């Protein structure tokens, strides 16, 4: 039997999305709309009269939400209270791993669509109330400045892939010596912020820091994907019960 099949991976993705997330798509969308409205109202009430700042806050909070949902998808795959746990479905670990990112992308796209639609609408209304004389047009959430959306997407990918290895690593931390766990997390953060640290220390110029940051982010994302897969393969359902 082939170790990787796109058809089987898509079947697995469909199984997870339909049984956990999109089983009732309207209910899910409704829930997301409420969350998005809550986040935007939170930003509007705390943002004074500067619409740009309010939108920045909303975008950042929504980005955090997108980053966190991959943890929900991961937890759904490794949970063992299903009659047929997803890890025990006859698909390879790699198929399940890639499917996890696909499911996350699907949920993120839905969240983005809801945020853009509901968020931009609310901000258009808020703009009319706060600045009735301003006829600058509608600002679309996340797409106000093209490059910012791209930068935000890369940032979200980096954090999401980090969470994918960080979560099982923290859950299984007792397997490692406490010093090892702390050293891994500290080392990871040190590598990530190394160019900024060197720049502030005056060792490298800002342009070099920018390029080395980009190179480190790409390398770290690749390492995240690799290590996340290794830990995903080794995930055990070690809950002690019903013996």
Partner 1 sequence: MTIIDNITYGYRKNRPVFRDLTLKLGDGRIYGLLGMNGSGKTTLLKLLSGMLFPDKGRIMSDGENVAERSPGILQNIFMMPAEFRFGKISLDRFIALNSVFYPAFDDSILKDCLAGFGIGPKIDNLDRLSSGEKKKVLACIAMSFGTKILLMDEPVSGMDIPSRTLFRKLLVKHLRDEQTVIISAHEFSGLENIFSDVLIVRNDGTVYSDSIGNISVKYACGTDRSDTGALYSEPCAGGYRVIRKNISGIAAEIPVDILFNAVLKGAIR
Euclidean distance between CA atoms 43 and 90, whole angstroms: 45
Quick one: 28 or 37, whose CB is closer to partner 1?
Answer: 28
SS3 172: coil
The number of beta carbons lying within 10 Å of the beta carbon of residue 166 is 19
Quick one: DSSP state of residue 133?
T
- Judged by beta carbon, residue 24 or residue 134, the one nearer partner 1 is 24
For residues 60-94, one letter each, b for 16 or more C-beta atoms within 10 angstroms of the residue's C-beta and e for the rest, the string is ebbbebbbebbeebbebbbeeeeeeebbebebbee
Q: Which is nearer to partner 1, 106 or 116 (CB)?
A: 106
Nearer to partner 1, 3 or 147 (CB): 3
**Helical segments of the chain, H only:** 6-16, 25-45, 51-78, 93-114, 120-130, 146-171, 178-200, 206-233
> From the CB of 11, what's the least distance to partner 1, in Å?
5
CB of 216 to partner 1, least distance (A): 33
Residues that bind partner 1 (CB under 8 A): 1, 3, 8, 11-12, 14-15, 18-20, 23-24, 80-85, 87-93, 95, 233-234, 236-238, 240-243
Which residue number, 84 or 206, has a Cβ lying nearer to partner 1?
84
Q: How far is the CB of 141 from partner 1 (least distance, A)?
A: 32
CB of 85 to partner 1, least distance (A): 7
> What is the closest distance, in whole angstroms, from the C-beta atom of residue 133 to partner 1 in the complex?
51
Burial of 164 (0-12, 13-18, 19+ CB in 10 A): buried
């Amino acid at each position: 039997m082939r170790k990787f099949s796109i058809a089987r991976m898509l079947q697995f993705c469909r199984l997870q999305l339909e049984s956990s997330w999109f089983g009732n798509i309207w209910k899910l969308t409704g829930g997301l709309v409420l969350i998005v409205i809550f986040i935007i109202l939170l930003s509007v009430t705390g943002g004074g009269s500067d619409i740009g700042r309010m939108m920045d806050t909303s975008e950042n909070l929504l980005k955090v939400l997108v980053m966190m949902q991959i943890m929900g998808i991961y937890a759904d795959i490794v949970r063992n209270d299903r009659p047929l746990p997803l890890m025990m479905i006859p698909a390879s670990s790699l198929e399940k791993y890639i499917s996890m990112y696909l499911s996350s992308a699907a949920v993120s796209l839905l969240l983005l669509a809801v945020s853009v639609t509901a968020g931009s609408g609310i901000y258009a209304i808020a703009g009319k109330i706060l600045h009735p004389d301003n006829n600058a047009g509608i600002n679309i959430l996340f797409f106000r400045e093209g490059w910012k959306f791209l930068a935000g997407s890369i940032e979200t990918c980096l954090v999401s892939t980090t969470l994918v290895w960080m979560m099982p690593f923290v859950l299984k931390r007792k397997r490692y010596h406490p010093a090892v766990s702390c050293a891994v997390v500290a080392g990871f953060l040190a590598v990530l912020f190394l160019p900024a640290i060197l720049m502030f220390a005056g060792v490298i110029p800002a342009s070099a820091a920018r390029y080395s940051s980009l190179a480190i982010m790409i390398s770290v994302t690749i390492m995240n994907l690799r290590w996340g897969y290794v830990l995903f393969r080794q995930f055990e359902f070690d809950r002690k019960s019903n013996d």
